[in-house]
Amino acid sequence: MVDVLLGLQWGDEGKGARTLDLIMRDDYPVTVRYNGGPNAGHSLDFGNGKTIAVHVTPSAATLGGIISLMGNDMVVDPYGFYTEARDILRILGVDITNNSFLSREAGIISPYQRLFDFIEESIAFEKIGTTGKGIAATYGGYRERKIVRACDVVDKDNFRIANQHMIQRMQTYAKNFDIPKILEGKNFDLEAEMVKYYHAIEWMHQNIKIVDMNKKVQDLLRHRKTSKFLAEGAQGVLLDINHGDYPYVTSSNTCAFGVFNGLGIGHKQFGKLYGVTKPYNTKVGGGEFICEMSTDRELLFQRDGNEKGASTGRPRMCGYPDMVVLRHAITIHRGFGPMHIIVSKADIYPSELLDKPMLAVVAHKHRDGSISKELRLPLKDIVGVVTKEIAPWQAKYDLRKHNENDCKLFDNFLNFVYEELSDLPKNSFVIDIVGTGPQIGQYYEQPKR
């Protein structure tokens, strides 16, 4: 069976550490990244000063000895992949090329797609807030059948032809714009980036196993020792191209629906669904953020939660807990069985605010005067929120000391979630795990209710 872990907010929920916790707790032999590209960054803190961020490879590839798959619906930056493999090898002593497999259908990002990204954002009437990593341009080119795919890397003649078609298309588009002006201040040299791109393509040709992912997945699922997968999603539900706040979304399916295309599995092979959320919300990029905190509170949460993007370093906007968003993430997955919720960053609550109540969003106000607990998209049509006060939370827990009393304050938040979502059908969700720190292993399991 394939279990799936995904983000329930706008991404940045702390999925990386919790993925490794599940891998080590439940002994998954296979891990999968099924969607997205290097605009997703999963930060992994192993303690002892060993902290890395992975953008392409599944988080569990850093553990070594685990089979790591990169699925059909991914787009891969070759040079980013190369440097990630090199840096992980240096820091952790793990060669991720030993057990890693890339789908032949995955898209390849070139510097030209990044240039396209810069052009599109510079002329956009409304800024999307893209990471500038060429994600949308690659997915768009894929649909137009004019990009390089991983299967082209295997054969040098195929690569030469596909790459030339891609370059010709991008150059035709770019000649209509003042490129030097668009790239001003971007620290982006197209010629130098292409040199690195070709170097990385050669590295991929020699070192990366590029396979028919559908066949690979079915072969692994047939064998008892490799029949248990954990699929790791990128970004979060509100960034899903179909189910998020369009157009302020990414270009792939971040919800669990994407795993079927990303791996080529059927519904009978789908196992347990995990969803990661923080007790507060964060967001980067354009679009509405209707639960945003007051500035004084936001600055404190940014400080204590180290809230800056793993891919871009941009500060994240911080928002109050939003039960409407959480309800949406649960209900759109109702066909997958109960959502097993992992609450990360339960330890983040500024000490300056411990004597003050926290606000939580419980409903949204709409332009037509209605108030709803159900999420209606797009978010730009929401004109206000309904809030309730909840008690402050803290959950500093050290597994080595087994002092569970330190977690009692966080029960207030968990009880609030269960109460606010009590009108959902029975067995819609259960809170399984509470993450109490950034490091692997800093969590406790919730007793069943």
Catalytic residue list contains 328: no
Catalytic residue list contains 12: yes
Query: How much is the pLDDT for 322?
Result: 97
Q: Residues spanned by CATH 3.90.170.10 within the chain?
A: 278-449
* Residue with the two structure tokens 């810069």: 118
Query: How much is the pLDDT for 436?
Result: 84
Query: How much is the pLDDT for 184?
Result: 87
- In angstroms, the CA 260 to CA 258 distance is 5
Residue at 446: amino acid letter: Q
Q: Which 8-state DSSP code applies to residue 336?
A: G
- In angstroms, the CA 155 to CA 24 distance is 37
Cα–Cα distances in angstroms (integers) from residue 398 to residues 164, 403, 406, in the given order = 55, 7, 9
- In angstroms, the CA 147 to CA 140 distance is 9
Q: Flag whether the pTM goes above 0.85.
A: yes
Query: How much is the pLDDT for 46?
Result: 79
User: Under DSSP, is residue 95 helix (H, G, I), strand (E, B) or coil?
Assistant: coil
Active-site hit among 42, 55, 243, 364: 42
Q: Residues spanned by CATH 1.10.300.10 within the chain?
A: 109-210
Residues of the chain with pLDDT under 50: 397-402
**Of residues 324, 312, 257, 304, the one with CA closest to residue 283:** 312
Alpha helices, H only, 369-423: 411-420
Q: What is the CATH code for 278-449?
A: 3.90.170.10
Query: How much is the pLDDT for 310?
Result: 61
For the domain made up of 109-210, give the CATH fold: Adenylosuccinate Synthetase, subunit A; domain 2 (1.10.300)
**Of residues 284, 13, 263, 2, the one with CA closest to residue 129:** 284
**Of residues 430, 432, 436, 435, the one with CA closest to residue 446:** 432
Cis peptide before 247 (omega within 30 of 0): yes
Q: Quick one: tokens of 48?
A: 């002892």
Active-site hit among 3, 12, 73, 77: 12
- In angstroms, the CA 17 to CA 440 distance is 5
- In angstroms, the CA 445 to CA 274 distance is 14
Query: How much is the pLDDT for 402?
Result: 42
